[in-house]
């Protein structure tokens, strides 16, 4: 039984950065419609922040010590916007154990500890909700869990990171180098000062783990998902892709193989320029789900930003408030080494750029379709292969100096 006091559900926000302040803003600004839609009064009672400066419209709500929230029986829902897996894991665990529902946008925490936290929520009859952790404001986890529940899902493929999609879009459309496009993304406030988590694919990896866990019902951990970012993508690759009517996109994919195991990975891909995902540009995200009844369905929108993310967090708060006397059921099974299969053994078509000549490629017996680009140096060759496992390709290429190696999405 959760905490509802005199027909009122009290909320505590942990952290007051971009997402936390956005959540406070939406809860306050749309308070009337939120109460009406929840059929209960949803009140922001506390905001926990590390800093001592308590000023502005919420100054009476600020607290520094989590135990004030933990031990207040009036608090029914805790919104964790701290991020990471340190304090966020500690506070989430304590809040669930104290019988409070928890809502978060923290993809790292859900990707690494989602199974145990969902189990804890179940044990204590409360909700643990995280719609905003994937795709920011795009509704994807709830549709996957509920609206597509009648489907056997075969695969989930997504452009899951806005920063890298912005960088690739600027390389493709404006001819900027990776470094120039990254600098522009930083100047516009899309990319962090330390862009590692985005450009190396870690952010997309956490998101595909969450999507795979929901879609296939077993926890998939980041360590089971080989991850490659976009730092190796060059303007030469962009030009070769264009020459065969394709675009380079960073995709997170989780595919159910014939033996039922999940093949999940994050990597740059060449995709058909006419494909729906190719039209997803700038900081937008999109997730394509393939189900046996529905076929392909695509979810598209803003994957980050203060208010889009707050929109998803507050919707989860409202859902938790509606289920304050019960529990919003979200769960999946435990992870394990038997859950996934490495993409290494799975055949894909490949795009290859390497030092060499067309003769060498022909001699390698790769049955390759050669590509060309204006201004290519004489000792550079690029081509598309037939479907083959990476190991087979690497053996055929032995002795040739590799530039880029990306999958081709069929």
Catalytic residue IDs: 207
**Does 220 participate in binding ligand HSE (rule CB under 6 A)?**
no
Cβ neighbours of residue 270 closer than 8 Å, sequence gap 6 or more: 241, 244, 246, 247, 248, 351, 384, 406, 407, 408, 409
Figure out which of the listed residues 22, 162, 268, 343 binds ligand HSE, where binding follows CB under 6 A: 162
**Does 201 participate in binding ligand HSE (rule CB under 6 A)?**
no
**Phi, psi dihedrals of residue 265, rounded to the nearest 5°:** -165, 165
Question: Which residue, 134 or 368, is less far from ligand HSE as judged by CB?
Answer: 134
Min CB(161)–ligand HSE separation in Å? 4
Figure out which of the listed residues 21, 155, 163, 404 binds ligand HSE, where binding follows CB under 6 A: 163
Residues 91 and 14: beta-carbon distance below 8 Å: yes
| Rounded Cα–Cα distance for residues 60 and 199 (Å) | 40
Q: How far apart are the first and last CA of the chain?
A: 50
Torsion of CA 343, 269, 335, 89, to 10 degrees: 140
Q: Where are the alpha helices (DSSP H) in 156-232?
A: 162-174, 178-187, 196-199, 202-216
Q: Which stretch binds ligand HSE (CB under 6 A): 52-60, 147-155, 160-168, 209-217?
A: 160-168
Q: Which stretch binds ligand HSE (CB under 6 A): 77-85, 155-163, 316-324, 383-391?
A: 155-163
Q: Which stretch binds ligand HSE (CB under 6 A): 23-31, 157-165, 290-298, 339-347?
A: 157-165
Interactions with ligand HSE, residue window 45-84 (CB under 6 A): none
Q: Which stretch binds ligand HSE (CB under 6 A): 47-55, 158-166, 256-264, 314-322?
A: 158-166
- Closest to 226 (Cα-Cα) out of 261, 287, 267: 267
Q: Which stretch binds ligand HSE (CB under 6 A): 25-33, 56-64, 156-164, 247-255?
A: 156-164
Figure out which of the listed residues 40, 104, 157, 161 binds ligand HSE, where binding follows CB under 6 A: 161
Min CB(155)–ligand HSE separation in Å? 21
Min CB(33)–ligand HSE separation in Å? 26
Interactions with ligand HSE, residue window 81-110 (CB under 6 A): none
* Helix 162-174, helix 235-243: angle, nearest 10: 70
Min CB(183)–ligand HSE separation in Å? 15
Residues 373 and 243: beta-carbon distance below 8 Å: yes
Question: Which residue, 306 or 373, is less far from ligand HSE as judged by CB?
Answer: 306
Question: Which residue, 98 or 315, is less far from ligand HSE as judged by CB?
Answer: 315
Min CB(332)–ligand HSE separation in Å? 21
DSSP bridge partners of 46: 12
Min CB(73)–ligand HSE separation in Å? 34
Q: How far is CA 241 from the centre of its chain?
A: 25
**Does 169 participate in binding ligand HSE (rule CB under 6 A)?**
no
| Rounded Cα–Cα distance for residues 174 and 178 (Å) | 11
Min CB(159)–ligand HSE separation in Å? 9
Min CB(192)–ligand HSE separation in Å? 7
Cβ neighbours of residue 389 closer than 8 Å, sequence gap 6 or more: 344, 345, 346, 347, 348
**Phi, psi dihedrals of residue 375, rounded to the nearest 5°:** 80, 15
Figure out which of the listed residues 203, 237, 316, 319 binds ligand HSE, where binding follows CB under 6 A: 203
Interactions with ligand HSE, residue window 296-355 (CB under 6 A): 303-304
- Closest to 118 (Cα-Cα) out of 340, 334, 338: 334
Figure out which of the listed residues 131, 198, 237, 316 binds ligand HSE, where binding follows CB under 6 A: 198
Q: How far is CA 353 from the centre of its chain?
A: 29
Q: DSSP letters along 345-356, please? A: GS-BEEEEEEES
Question: Which residue, 239 or 304, is less far from ligand HSE as judged by CB?
Answer: 304
| Rounded Cα–Cα distance for residues 210 and 220 (Å) | 7
Q: Are strands 153-159 and 246-256 parallel, antiparallel or unpaired?
A: antiparallel
Count the residues of the shown chain that bind ligand HSE, applying the rule CB under 6 A. 7
Cβ neighbours of residue 150 closer than 8 Å, sequence gap 6 or more: 293
Q: Which residues bind ligand HSE (CB under 6 A)?
A: 161-163, 198, 203, 303-304
């Amino acid at each position: 039984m959760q905490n509802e006091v005199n027909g009122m559900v009290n909320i505590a926000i942990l952290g007051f950065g971009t997402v936390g302040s956005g959540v406070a803003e939406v809860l306050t600004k749309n308070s009337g419609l939120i109460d009406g839609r929840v059929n209960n009064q949803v009140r922001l009672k506390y905001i926990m922040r590390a800093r001592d400066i308590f000023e502005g419209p919420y100054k009476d709500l600020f607290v520094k010590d989590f135990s004030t929230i933990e031990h207040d029986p009036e608090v029914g829902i805790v919104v964790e916007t701290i991020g990471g897996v340190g304090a966020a894991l500690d506070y989430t665990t304590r809040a669930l154990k104290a019988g409070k529902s928890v809502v978060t946008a923290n993809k790292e925490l859900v990707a690494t500890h989602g199974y145990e936290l969902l189990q804890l929520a179940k044990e204590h009859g409360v909700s643990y909700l995280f719609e905003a952790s994937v795709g920011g404001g795009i509704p994807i986890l709830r549709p996957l869990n509920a609206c597509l529940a009648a489907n056997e899902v075969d695969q989930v493929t997504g452009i899951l990171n806005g920063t890298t999609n912005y960088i690739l879009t600027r390389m493709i459309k404006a001819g900027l180098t990776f470094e120039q496009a990254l600098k522009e993304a930083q100047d516009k406030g899309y990319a962090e000062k330390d862009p590692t988590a985005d450009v190396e694919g870690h952010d997309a990896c956490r998101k595909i783990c969450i999507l795979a866990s929901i879609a296939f019902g077993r926890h998939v951990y980041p360590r089971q998902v080989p991850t490659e970012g976009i730092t190796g993508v060059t303007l030469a690759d962009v030009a070769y892709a264009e020459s065969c009517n394709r675009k380079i996109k960073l995709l997170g994919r989780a595919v159910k193989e014939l033996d039922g195991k999940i093949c999940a990975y994050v990597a740059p891909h060449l995709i058909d320029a006419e494909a729906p995902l190719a039209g997803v540009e700038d900081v937008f995200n999109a997730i394509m789900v393939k189900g046996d009844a529905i076929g392909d369905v695509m979810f598209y929108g803003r994957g980050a930003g203060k208010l889009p993310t707050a929109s998803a967090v507050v919707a989860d708060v409202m859902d938790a408030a509606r289920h304050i006397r019960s529990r919003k059921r979200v769960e999946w099974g435990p992870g394990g080494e038997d859950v996934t299969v490495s993409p290494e053994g799975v055949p894909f078509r490949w795009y290859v750029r390497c030092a060499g000549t067309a003769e060498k490629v022909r001699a390698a017996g790769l049955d390759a379709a050669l590509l060309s680009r204006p201004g290519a140096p004489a000792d550079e060759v690029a081509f598309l292969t037939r479907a083959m496992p990476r190991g087979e390709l690497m053996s055929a290429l032995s002795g040739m100096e590799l530039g880029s190696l990306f999958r081709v999405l069929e």
